[in-house]
Structure 1
């Protein structure tokens, strides 16, 4: 169940945390909440750490390719300078910031702002991924999302690394990680157990591809 405030009093701030493993829809949920606030006429700013440039240098992009324009920051303190006139501050991939983000989030909330933070709550070894545990502790609202295990098909909340790399912070996608359930999680590194994640296609794209394939088949005849 998605747990977020439904009644928003004026001049009162708070912290919301969206957490979970890889491919659980954290950024997608962050974007959804940001869009709802924008539709309501609130001033929304989305920020992400500079280290996360997987899809775009300037946009916040989810695995399903939903995107919104955002600000890239090197440090959590930069958020205070860049979000002064905003009502809602959305922070993506919070696990890539240092512990300074804890005080920054508290300060923004104390100033009457709604702070929405999304990030991994566990690293590739299944250990708490700082600073997320501390953010979870001080948040008024917490939503934990789950993916689907690539091996067993049940609920997954671990991020299984499938490449040989022992760096705790490894920015990657389906080439480096798989979602795994507890009984399928084999830290620190395991081989790929599921099929590579393919991009979702719209009905129009599927129809177009089928038409092109049929044309190619007819031309071969």
Structure 2
């Protein structure tokens, strides 16, 4: 039987890991919030976490670029996620790329306890390289959803986050003033 969000809600699986990944402006957080709100409708006990370093929209909420929001707990280290309430059934984690390399083990621990873990994050950095713990999470997940944005140069599906400002820093918080989604051809054009 194939794993899907619908199968899980029917109780056909125990714990699991779902990863939502892609470039900036592709709808990762929007999809995370959608899945978490469906879990709330199903009266499941949820907890949501985000890295304390991500303060772009709100310090204690997960917020999409469309300004959909859901309350969250900001944490400094992935191990802090393990301190969740004992009766939690679903855990949401946003901006996974900003977490430490211990995040995959934390997610495995939760899933092995029967918890559904839904993680969203960038799979590649501004240079087009694998980003943080997201590739490792993709490898251990039951379900991986890769979403694409729209290339602002040509309109094709975009899977890269092109940095528009001069900086070689691995992490540079920003929005449309700093990044734009691009397809492979337009990303490699570097203009």
Is 1:23 aligned with 2:12? Answer: no
Query: Counterpart in 2 of 1:166?
Result: 168
Give the superposition deviation at 1:185: 0.2
Query: Partners in 2 of 1:144 and 1:106 — Cα distance?
Result: 20
Query: Counterpart in 2 of 1:205?
Result: none
Query: Counterpart in 2 of 1:152?
Result: 154
The count of residues paired between Structure 1 and Structure 2 equals 187
Query: Partners in 2 of 1:46 and 1:38 — Cα distance?
Result: 12
TM-score normalised to the size of structure 2? 0.94
Query: Counterpart in 2 of 1:6?
Result: 6
CA distances 1:3-47 after superposition (whole Å, capped 9, x unpaired): 842122277100000000000000000000000000001001111
Which one has a bigger Cα radius of gyration? 1
Paired residue secondary structure (2:31): helix
- Distance change >3 Å, CA 184–CA 83, structure 1 → 2: farther
| Structure with more relative contact order (C-alpha pairs < 8 Å, separation 6 or more) | 2
Does structure 1 retain, via aligned residues, the 8 Å contact 2:50–2:94?
yes
Give the superposition deviation at 1:83: 4.1
Contiguous gaps of at least 5 residues in structure 1: 192-221
Query: Counterpart in 2 of 1:87?
Result: 89
Query: Counterpart in 1 of 2:76?
Result: 74
Paired residue secondary structure (1:6): helix
TM-score normalised to the size of structure 1? 0.81
Give the superposition deviation at 1:171: 1.2
After TM superposition, which residue ranges in structure 1, 4 or more long, deviate above 4 angstroms? none
Paired residue secondary structure (1:133): helix
Contiguous gaps of at least 5 residues in structure 2: none
Give the superposition deviation at 1:145: 0.2
Q: Aligned ranges for residues 191-206 of structure 1 at < 5 Å? A: none
